Chain A
Amino acid sequence: MSDNILFQLQSHGKGQQKNLEGYVGFASLPNQVYRKSVKRGFEFTLMVVGESGLGKSTLINSLFLTDLYSAEYPGPSHRIKKTVQVEQSKVLIKEGGVQLLLTIVDTPGFGDAVDNSNCWQPIIDHIDSKFEDYLNSESRVNRRQMPDSRIHCCLYFIAPSGHGLKPLDIEFMKRLHEKVNVIPLIAKADTLTPEECQQFKKQIMREIQEHKIKIYEFPETDDEEENRLVKKIKDKLPLAVVGSNTITEANGKRVRGRQYPWGVAEVENSDHCDFTILRDMLIRTHMQDLKDVTNNVHYENYRSRKLAAVTYNGVDNNRAKGQLSTKSPLAQMEEERREHVSKMKKMEMEMEQVFEMKVKEKVQKLKDSEAELQRRHEQMKKNLEAQHRELEEKRRVFEDERANWEAMQRQEQQKMEASRTLEKNKKKGKIF
């Protein structure tokens, strides 16, 4: 980063309020967004879970006013499965210029076996695999297409026993409420009278709260009006629905409904069931929010769990838990790198110290031994010099002695010579 950059950081984030003195035109931004979104088209993935025969396919057909499930494409209940399967159907529907790619995920076989332990596992695996796909495509270096096949909503069908939730219901919802938006529905609600339905709903909500299950919550808005509507819906949870593939006559009108000898249960009559509430909520008002919650909450949970596992793989777990993290794996590695650098510096310093110490020791030893040898040498030299001097002295003494003695000898000799000569001369007649 160049040091020529002058940032007034306080200006990022909190902006100054400014009043406009005329029309600028950015109020058209929502229109621009609208236009682009229509051009792009929309996607939505809906999962339906419940035992066979609870009317799931019928409800889907009723919701989307189309024959998603028909003779050619039979619904899940018509297919006998031994184990829980997860199947997708994709349909493209258009309305008012808006294209919607709708994916319905079926789970035939759920709850139908005698032993249903872990029948939720294939479903969990499926949801996770969709998150995994999205995570991988989001993490690629080259990101081109990122189709969103994550499950945006799971409609869970509760059998209309009138008594309460079954253990399987509770187990399923507990396991899935943190992975997907769960909307529980009372299926085939035309087998319950309004009072029974009320009771049933209360019971179910009590049990849901007891088990701390987090079903999909409608967001609060700033709008008073909207909040009132939301409150009304909340009071009716879980929604009791009726679906129908047939259109019959009732009160002179053609309606979608179920014809009984005693009357017609109308699907779209809010006195008869909560179908319209479900449809309005699911499709007309909260579809976008379901996608947002999936993206911002469920997916992010999955992602952070996944990345934490990858990042802290091999890192001391205590440390990891302490600072669980807003870091990315790369930032984590960066930090580890920095720690390592400082560790290395320390190590280097220590090694240097040890090294210096050892060297000093050795050098000292060398010095000492040099001094010792020097001393000895001096000593020997002194000795030798002493010996030398001694010898010189001795020699001098000896030479003196010898010189003296030789001198004396010579004198004696001379004397003798002299006396001998005298004798000789005497003998020769020199004596008169």
Chain B
Amino acid sequence: MAATDVDVFSNEGKRNLSLGGHVGFDSLPDQLVSKSVTQGFCFNILCVGETGIGKSTLMNTLFNTMFENEEASHYQNGVYLRPRTYDLVESNVQLKLTIVDTVGFGDQINKEDSYKPIVDYIDTQFENYLQEELKIKRSLFNYHDTRIHICLYFIAPTGHSLKSLDLVTMKKLDSKVNIIPIIAKADTISKSELHKFKIKIMSELVSNGVQIYQFPTDDETVSEINASMNAHLPFAVVGSVEEVKVGNKTVRARQYPWGVVQVENESHCDFVKLREMLIRVNMEDLREQTHARHYELYRRCKLEEMGFKDTDPDSQPFSLQETYEAKRKEFLGDLQRKEEEMRQMFVNKVKETEAELKEKERELHDKFEQLKRMHQEEKRKVEEKRRDLEEEMNAFNRKKVAAETLSLSQPLKKDKDKKN
């Protein structure tokens, strides 16, 4: 379906024709409406605010129902998001309402990361929708849309200014969801203080660049009321499910010793304004803005992150097929490269180890060569000694033989001498 309400009727080569009678296509809006009624509507509200600030009570008051809610403790060690879905029916209009509560918001000592679970939840719903939209076989027309259509940000009624947690959180959320800031428990602020408080809050939001939801003024039927409501932001609300008798009527109110704060009395608080704007006039616009603006932004960022582009380097628009094929080629190339890298790493490892082992081998060889040489040396010495010995022995033998020969001839001489 069309992502944006584009003016189809602007630059078309078309003719304006007048009709010669009642054709009947003025029933088209009715056909559309009856289809939507049959399908049922879906609306998702996110309530962000400190524990005990009155989120659950306000929801009960807005929808005239007791939604189950255990009171949360102040000792959560983080921020938890608790979504609950309800099926409501009013004059045969079916509404699937999901209320998401932020449990533990503002309770921790270190609140730096408090906004993260909220942003993650919103992104997850966008992601789920995107995934469904990208599926090959998809069924968008009966998809249960869980994207947050409105974030009601509850401001504590200090009367002074916004807390820094409020500014930080709203800044993180303003590009992801429609934000309507409301002043909770407004029955603790006097009228004059309230006026100053509202001005302070709005100027702080503006100076910090926080984009809150503006009620649309482009449709003449509602532009007037929307414009006037825009001036009353943030709405100062009081919630109550208890009924008190005032005059001859029973109204929802809070009973104090000094008086009764009536929820639906416009001079007591802005509850009626909130209900009017949120539910009776702009619910459909909130859904549209979520889909056409916030979701599209998320989708665009996500796709760009994944490397999708609308035009190729020559600024020619890609067709879907080309885009996917290009992506796929890149992807396969990537896988190939990883494989190559791993193989290469192994080749290198093997080379290294081989070199190491060769080195060891060589060392071993060297060692043994050295030993061998020493051994040769020793052997030579032994040989030398042996030769020496042999020589000595030979010399000795010769001496011995000579002496013996001599002694053999000597006795003759002796005898000769004796005879003389």
Contact = CB atoms under 8 A, between A and B. Distances in A.
A236 interface: no
A398 B389 contact: yes
A250 interface: no
A344 B342 contact: yes
Contact of A12 (B19, B63, B146): B146
A313 interface: yes
A83 interface: no
A91 B16 contact: yes
A326 B300 contact: no
Given A18-B86, A91-B16, A391 B389 contact: yes
A93 B17 contact: yes
Interface stretch (A137-145, A180-188, A204-212, A257-265): A137-145
Contact of B389 (A28, A97, A395): A395
A16 B96 CA distance: 9
Interface in A302-319: 303-304, 306-308, 310-311, 313-314
Contacts of B20: 65-66
Interface string B68-92: 0000000000111111111111110
A409 B401 CA distance: 12
Nearest to B303: A141
A41 B8 contact: yes
B246 interface: no
A234 B89 CA distance: 33
Interface stretch (A106-114, A118-126, A168-176, A285-293): A285-293
Interface string B89-125: 1110101111000010000000001001100110010
Given A147-B6, A289-B35, A326-B137, A91 B15 contact: yes
B134 A313 contact: no
A328 B28 contact: no
B313 interface: no
A134 B99 CA distance: 35
Contact of A344 (B15, B144, B339, B389): B339
A42 B64 contact: no
Interface stretch (A151-159, A193-201, A380-388): A380-388
Nearest to A369: B364
A155 to B, nearest CB: 16
A117 interface: no
A218 interface: no
B62 interface: yes
A96 B3 CA distance: 26
A294 to B, nearest CB: 11
Contacts of A140: 310, 317
A310 B325 contact: yes
A330 B144 CA distance: 22
A39 B35 contact: no
B349 interface: yes
A101 B16 contact: no
Contacts of A22: 64
Nearest to B282: A32
Contacts of A148: 2
A306 B306 contact: no
B340 to A, nearest CB: 11
Given A91-B15, A351-B346, A7 B36 contact: no
A322 interface: no
A331 B85 contact: no
A288 B303 CA distance: 32
Interface in B1-38: 1-9, 12-33, 35-38
Given A4-B116, A92-B9, A391-B382, A33 B36 contact: yes
A366 B361 contact: yes
A285 B93 contact: no
Contacts of B221: 35
Interface in A6-51: 6-8, 11-30, 32-44
A78 interface: no
Interface in A38-73: 38-44, 63-68, 73
B288 interface: yes
Most B CB within 10 A of own CB, among A90, A145, A337, A348:
A145
A300 B138 contact: yes
Nearest to A305: B136
Contacts of A321: none
Contact of B28 (A287, A373, A391): A287
A423 interface: yes
B283 interface: yes
B172 interface: no
A431 interface: no
A269 to B, nearest CB: 15
Nearest to A340: B335
B328 interface: yes
Given A18-B88, A99-B9, A395-B389, A12 B144 contact: yes
A283 interface: yes
Contacts of A423: 417
Contacts of A251: none
Contacts of A11: 83-85, 98
B9 A101 contact: yes
A197 to B, nearest CB: 25
B193 interface: no
Given A142-B310, A380-B375, A308 B136 contact: yes
A280 interface: yes
A2 to B, nearest CB: 5
Contacts of B242: none
Interface in A67-106: 67-68, 73, 89-101
B396 A68 contact: no
B408 interface: no
Nearest to A73: B15
Nearest to A380: B375
B268 interface: no
Interface string B132-143: 001111100100
Nearest to B63: A24
A44 B31 CA distance: 14
A366 B361 CA distance: 7
B257 to A, nearest CB: 27
A9 B388 CA distance: 104
A327 interface: yes
B219 A146 contact: no
Contacts of A13: 85, 144
Contacts of A370: 364
A337 B306 CA distance: 14
Given A25-B275, A34-B33, A101-B14, A296 B141 contact: yes
Contacts of B296: 143
Contact of B219 (A35, A97, A284): A35
Contacts of B95: 26, 29
Contacts of A65: 19-23
B138 A5 contact: no
Interface in B370-393: 371-372, 375, 378-379, 382, 385-386, 389, 392-393
14 contacts: A1-B120, A2-B120, A4-B80, A11-B85, A23-B64, A25-B275, A28-B283, A63-B23, A90-B14, A95-B23, A99-B9, A144-B4, A310-B324, A369-B364
Which 8 pairs from chain A and chain B are nearest by CB? A96-B26, A328-B134, A288-B31, A32-B284, A4-B78, A90-B14, A15-B85, A22-B64
